[in-house]
Amino acid sequence: MDPTLAQGWTPSLTHDLWVGLGVLTAGVVLALEKRRRGVDDDRIWALVALAVAFGAVGARLGTWLQHLQPGANDGLALHWLYGNRSILGGLAFAYVAVLVGKRLLRMRWRTGALFAPAVAAGMAVGRIGCLLTELPGTPTDVPWAVTVTSAADAAAWGVPVGARLHPSFAYEIAFHVVALVAMWIWRDRLTDPADLFTLYITGYAGFRFVVELVRGNELTDLGLTRPQIFLAATLPLLVWRSVVAIRRRDTGVDREPVPPPA
């Protein structure tokens, strides 16, 4: 028996531990960037609390409606306790929560310059939990493939022991690390640094659509996974927003990115 299991340490706890570390990392990076930019508006922490709370709800609900017929889905309470979680659902709910929170708090300045590097850093750390506990990806013969050695994992994932699978979560971790480095370099070169968040989310959406090809998620009748369907509907808007951000930089249109220091 695995000694960690004998002590009650389950894959779920491993996953939740890394998610918690991801949230903590995001908070630290946001605090550092807030200090570097001289932002003295502490209402930002209320937005962080809203994002974390609603992101957790969205992550659960994001995988609930898997069938068009409501009766074919699990009960909401059952799914909340035992269902899968969706990072896309979590991001979507967190984003809406921040927008609503800014209106309630009457914050008229854009917060993307603070949230973009924080989210990228948090995602890179949090996805380690997925890499350690979830189905890595589809079968492959690439040299860096993950070999399934546990009979329990093989049974849970529906693959034979010894199967070699794409480490799709490692690809995603690499994306977020590269994105974080790129944002660190470009964070002061945009006319409006808040556009960093728009560009980052657009890049992640495009990357995620492609990496779904090796993720191993269930295909729908459209030949796409459910995350791909969601991304196909939202990517055009994100691309348009990114084009606007890039044109703003090229034309030199100036906007106030953050509130003036106190």
pLDDT digits (tens, 9 = 90+) for 95-123: 999 999 999 999 989 999 999 999 999 99
Phi, psi angle pair for 219, to nearest 5°: -85, 145
- Asked whether residue 51 is domain-assigned, the answer is no
State residue 2's pLDDT score: 38
Q: Both tokens of residue 66?
A: 């898997």
Which of 215, 219, 180 lies closest to 200 in space, CA to CA?
A: 180
Model confidence, pTM = 0.85
Tell me which of 83 and 17 has the higher pLDDT: 17
25 belongs to a structural domain = no
pLDDT at 8 over 50: no
Q: What sign results for the dihedral spanned by CA atoms 108, 111, 207, 205?
A: negative
Q: What is the pLDDT of residue 64?
A: 60
Residue 40 counted as domain residue = no
The pLDDT of residue 5 is: 37
Instruction: Yes or no: say if 83 and 64 are a contact pair by the CB < 8 Å rule.
Output: yes
Q: Name the residue range of residue 254's domain.
A: 110-262
Confidence bin at 218 (pLDDT 50/70/90): confident
Asked if residue 5 belongs to a domain, the reply is no
Tokens of 158: 């529906």
Report the number of distinct structural domains present in the chain. 1
Task: Tell me what the mean pLDDT of segment 226-254 comes to.
Answer: 83
The letter for the amino acid at 44 is: I
pLDDT of residue 13: 82
On whether residue 257 sits in a domain, the answer given is yes
- The answer to the question of residue 160 being in a domain is yes
Residues 170-190 have pLDDT tens digits of: 999 999 999 999 998 888 888
Is 70 inside any structural domain? no
